[in-house]
Amino acid sequence: MGYPLMTQGEFHKKRRSARLAMSVPIRVYAIDFKGIDFVEETSTVVVNHHGAKIRLTHQLLPEQEIRIQSLQTDQEAVFRVVNRAGRSEDRFTFWGVESLEPTNNIWGVGFPRPAAADQRLVRSTMRCPVCHWSETLYLDEPLVESVQELGGLLRGCLHCGLTGVWKPVPYSDS
Ligand SMILES: [Zn+2]
């Protein structure tokens, strides 16, 4: 039995920007773990100023470089694979990636300065299906993955008092 892989980053490094739960459509250009070129259209699960967590059907290797194009802004940058992140599903694997061009923000959103909770949790903007009140919640990564997979989160609303399936909405920095 192998030991779990301890990767640098993530837990040791203080986060330099808030992480946002955002499903951005992307195109990934990379070489898989067998050395074969591939292009895959997929999406991010979480983005921050310097990186992202992405979901793929292909397998990568830590430290390899990949190119990611945002299909929302049409901009691209080179990223380094930091680690395999989160749980794996039948169809998808999740990967933490870090930008090698940190001045090139391909996501097209402004990132808030990190608060204490941003060190551990991901900001997720969700909307009440009844009254359309929206709120930014701090969720842990497994919950962010489930919300993206299932399309929502069952939650009571303090605004209208009713319970419903809240849906993620794009983060707005206004
Ligand atoms: Zn409501």
pLDDT at residue 173, as a whole number: 59
Q: How far is the CA of 159 from the centre of ligand 1 (A)?
A: 5
Positive or negative: CA dihedral 103, 107, 113, 114? negative
Task: Give the distance (Å) from ligand 1 centre to CA of residue 126.
Answer: 11
pLDDT digits (tens, 9 = 90+) for 149-159: 889 999 999 99
How far is the centre of ligand 1, averaged over its atoms, from the C-alpha of 25 (Å)? 28
Q: What is the CA radius of gyration of the chain?
A: 17
What pLDDT digit, counting tens, does each position of 82-107 carry?
998 876 667 888 999 999 998 889 99
Q: How far, in Å, is the centroid of ligand 1 from the Cα of 167?
A: 12
Q: How far is the CA of 92 from the centre of ligand 1 (A)?
A: 33
Q: How far apart are CA 55 and CA 79, in angstroms?
A: 14
Question: What percent of the chain stands above pLDDT 70?
Answer: 88
Cα of 154 vs centre of ligand 1, distance in Å, is 12
Q: Which residue has the higher pLDDT, 109 or 86?
A: 109
Closest to 94 measured CA to CA, from 51, 59, 146: 59
Q: What is the pTM of this model?
A: 0.82
Share the mean pLDDT of the chain: 88
Q: For residue 129, report the distance from its CA to the centre of ligand 1, in Å.
A: 7
- Residue 170 alpha carbon to ligand 1 centre in Å: 18
Q: Of the candidates 7, 109, 89, which has an alpha carbon nearest to the alpha carbon of residue 48?
A: 109
Distance 157 CA to ligand 1 centre (A): 5
| 22 CA distance to ligand 1 middle (Å) | 22
